[in-house]
Amino acid sequence: MSILFVLIPILGALAILLGSKAKTTALIASGLNLFLGLGSLFCWQAKIWSMSPEILSKPSIHLAFGFYDGMSVIMMILSVLVLFAATMSGKCPEGREKLWYSSLLLIGGGALGAFLSTDLFFFYAFHELALIPTFLMIGILGSGERKEAAWKITIYLALGSIILLAGLIWLVSASGSETWLFSELLKSKIDPSAQTGIAALLIVGFGILISLFPFHSWAAPAYASAPAPVAMLHAGVLKKFGLYGLIRLYPMVSEGMQHWLGALIVLLLGNILWVGFVTINQKRLDTMLGNSSVMHMGYIFLAFAALVQAGSVEANPLAIPAAVVLMFAHGVSIALLFMLTDTIRRKTGTVELAELGGLAKAAPRLAFLFGLAGMASIGLPGLANFSGEVLVFLSGFEGYDGGKLGCVQVATILALWGVVISAVYMLRAFRQTFQGPAVPATSSKNVTDFGPFCQIPAALLALALLVVGLYPNSLLNLLKDPAPVAPTEQAAE
């Protein structure tokens, strides 16, 4: 049944290509998905959601979908929320509705397929569904240096994907598992000497897809040039695919990952500090947000590093919930920020910080929501990102007995500076854009507050931030619940 989440957007995209009204079809498809997603929150453990027909016998690959555990549910909610917001708020250029809406649906369908797949092969394959639509959207309908950005993201992600594929193939063959299903794979043990190589390939492969330092140079230009809905989907949802994969496959390569812990910590600090300082240096809202999204990946990696150091999920029970909550929170907040930045660009014609000012006078609601999203991104308590970040920092010190500081603890202390860094650039951007005297760009008659097509998705995303911020157990409870019955056992019944 969970294949519906994937089929609805894909069929919607096909319908649009065959000639149905683009915006309506897209809204119906993403709206349906949103309702289905929110509804499934109450019954996700029911068996009806899983399926796994075998499509290939040698090697044994299944077209398997289902909620493998609470993490899949949370990522699914993130995807349907952001897809709906992106579809509703995007302002499509004249005459390009077909390309615009079908691409958004395909990208969203690919993300949902990846998160809901319980077979490693299709988990990998669905992520790539987004590749061609992203290439076309950034290249044709993007702004600024769109052509270079489109080539860079496509080739870089292709390289990352093929390296990842090698790692996954090696993983499956070393595990001795008969199938590519998660449930089979996660039961098997891999020889520790092979784990080191596999872990390296997974870190590099997933790392490129997550924009881990130093494989991050594709991200900021791509998000800055992409049309806003594509940036929302990519930075908010698709990037989390890599982290989801790492967390999901971690039990199979736990010893191998420990070998690379030092390198991982240096790289994630590179994300937080190096890219953080690069973000402070940005003079445009869109590049600032692009770099900021790269920077925040460092926190989630910190939770992962804490997990790696502890050696097992039982030894550090905070790490995975921290990562998942922060993935959700970051996804929603960055999507909201990209949406609002696009509104600013449309209303005032610019996103250069130097040319903006005093926008709050003309667009108070926009200012409020941007402030909310910005505060969330900094990590203000009461909003979702704080719940995630505080859990990350706590997980960094989990199991610390008061003696010598380990490398993860040192990294956590250094990562705390990231909060200050993000406060610097976000508050400065807010002040420069919204406060102070009005400037010509922001005081012309065109500048009105944003309309309902933007207000509804923005309110939805802001609501998600508030709910998870004030009541983190809404997500954490999902992670505590036991996973539903594995599909292969179901098939035997």
Which residues would be at the binding site for other proteins (CB under 8 A)?
17, 55-60, 63, 99, 121, 124-129, 131-132, 135-136, 139-140, 147, 151, 154-155, 158-159, 161-163, 165-166, 169-170, 173, 178
**Cβ 221 to other proteins, closest distance in Å?**
17
Calpha distance 414→403 (Å, rounded): 18
**Cβ 52 to other proteins, closest distance in Å?**
14
The answer to whether the CB of 116 falls within 8 A of the CB of 175 is no
Residue closer to other proteins by CB (options 124, 393) is: 124
Residue closer to other proteins by CB (options 201, 323) is: 201
Look at residues 288, 289, 279 and name the one whose alpha carbon lies nearest to residue 234: 289
Q: Which residue has the tokens 């010509």?
A: 440
Calpha distance 121→126 (Å, rounded): 9
**Cβ 197 to other proteins, closest distance in Å?**
9
**Cβ 242 to other proteins, closest distance in Å?**
15
**Cβ 44 to other proteins, closest distance in Å?**
25
Side-chain-facing half-sphere of 433: CA atoms under 13 Å: 31
Calpha distance 122→487 (Å, rounded): 15
If you write DSSP's letter for every residue of 54-82 in order, what string do you get?
Answer: EEETTTBEE--BS--SHHHHHHHHHHHHH
Residue closer to other proteins by CB (options 152, 296) is: 152
Residue closer to other proteins by CB (options 103, 287) is: 103
The answer to whether the CB of 63 falls within 8 A of the CB of 50 is no
Helix (H) / strand (E) element for 212: namely none
Residue closer to other proteins by CB (options 147, 480) is: 147
And the tokens for 331?
């996804």
Residue closer to other proteins by CB (options 37, 109) is: 109
Calpha distance 404→401 (Å, rounded): 9
What residues contact residue 85 under an 8 Å CB cut-off, 6+ apart? 232, 335, 336, 339, 457, 458, 460, 461
Calpha distance 301→243 (Å, rounded): 8
Cis peptide before 59 (omega within 30 of 0): yes
User: What letter represents residue 479's amino acid?
Assistant: L
Cis peptide before 214 (omega within 30 of 0): yes
**Cβ 397 to other proteins, closest distance in Å?**
38
Residue closer to other proteins by CB (options 256, 379) is: 256
Residue closer to other proteins by CB (options 57, 440) is: 57
Residue 365 CB-density burial (10 A; 0-12 exposed, 13-18 middle, 19+ buried): middle
**Cβ 409 to other proteins, closest distance in Å?**
36
Residue closer to other proteins by CB (options 99, 360) is: 99
**Cβ 293 to other proteins, closest distance in Å?**
23
**Cβ 157 to other proteins, closest distance in Å?**
9
Other CB atoms closer than 10 Å to residue 370's CB: what's the count? 27
Residue closer to other proteins by CB (options 173, 444) is: 173
Strands 54-56 and 61-62: what pairing?
antiparallel
**Cβ 18 to other proteins, closest distance in Å?**
10
